[in-house]
Amino acid sequence: MIEKNSKDEIDVLSLFSLIGKKTNSLLVLIINFFISFLNLIVSLLYLVKRNYLILLISLLIGSLIGYFYEKNLYFPQYQTTLTLSPNFGSTYHLYENIKFYQSLIEQEDFEKLSDILKIDSTEAKSLLSISIEPYKNEKLNLEGFEKLLNMADSTTALTLTYSEYANKIPFESYISHVIKLNLSNNKIPPQLEHSIITALEKNKYYRDKKNTYLKNLKIKREYVEASIQKIDTLLFAKKGTDIGDFNSKNLGTTILLDKNQNTNLELKLFDNYSTLNNELIYINNELNKKANIINIISSFPMIAEISNENKSYNIVFGLFLFLFTLIIILFKRINALLGQDPNFKIKLVNYKK
């Protein structure tokens, strides 16, 4: 029994001894790392001190090169946006038109581009690119995903994820779309916005579709307004008079109801009155939203904003040339040390207990 306890004590001592050695090795590694890092910093500072004149000259030359580039070779680009809301299924046609304009810019066919967009050739040449993308609203996407889950079967609802849904939403399903324009100057062609919209407004298919839709809405509004007027007459024409007491002067017939029936009828009329008012509000909103084939949400501003901001190229070029010169000096120093001692190695601190 005593022998067994002695063996256990020896095993524990061996374990602690091993842990101590590993801990010492780790501490040595950390100490050596910091010493090497400090040596590197001191060596770099020493090189900078010895070669400060060369480094200062390189910084000055780089700054002059950057200043020359900024004043003579640097051409800023400008960007602006136009936000539209297409109606009557014209979204796809709008995208195709923008792609066509972009293809003319890439082909540098500015004569045809100026003719189509009704802008002069100088304005056409200032257009660097034009693109369009849907305005993505996370809130609307979540609402659409919720509706889809409510309609889907249990298997689809369990397997479909929001990321998959959001990535597969077709561009024509979005309400608003943003046209991005890149220019070589900040002057936006004043006729450009009108030309983009008119290309669809003059389309006979969309124009007929709009007229038919608006005509049907107006007929529906007349019917709703007439219904509201009749209910309004029943409820509010003679305050304090029961509905059952109206005679032929009001309705052309006499309605005789008891008190309970009269109360129920009033409640139903109030419900219908509220429903018809909501329907009238919806119709008026639709008439306003669908008055045009393309609704303008946000027009082009008067002046475009700069997209590639001035980055002070004199500082950028100066720092680049400074660092490049410092690297060359550092390599020369290393080559000199290797030339003096072919077996040159970085010596680290050895720790021995």
pLDDT in tens, the chain (353 residues): 555 455 555 566 666 666 766 777 777 778 878 887 787 777 777 777 777 787 788 878 877 777 776 666 667 788 999 999 999 989 999 999 999 999 999 998 999 999 999 999 888 999 999 999 988 777 766 666 666 666 665 666 566 666 666 666 777 778 889 999 999 888 888 899 999 999 999 999 999 999 999 999 999 999 988 888 888 777 665 444 544 444 444 444 444 444 445 566 667 777 777 888 888 899 999 889 888 999 999 988 888 888 765 566 667 777 777 777 777 777 777 776 666 555 544 444 444 44
Q: Which residues contact 315 (CB under 8 A, 6 or more apart)?
A: 63, 66
Can you tell me the distance from the alpha carbon of 318 to that of 3, in angstroms, rounded to the nearest whole number?
77
Can you tell me the distance from the alpha carbon of 332 to that of 256, in angstroms, rounded to the nearest whole number?
113
pLDDT at residue 247 in the model: 42
Q: Are 221 and 284 in contact (CB under 8 A)?
A: yes
Q: State whether residue 189 is helix, strand or coil.
A: coil
Q: The pTM is what?
A: 0.60
pLDDT at residue 310 in the model: 53
User: Tokens 């991005």, residue?
Assistant: 180
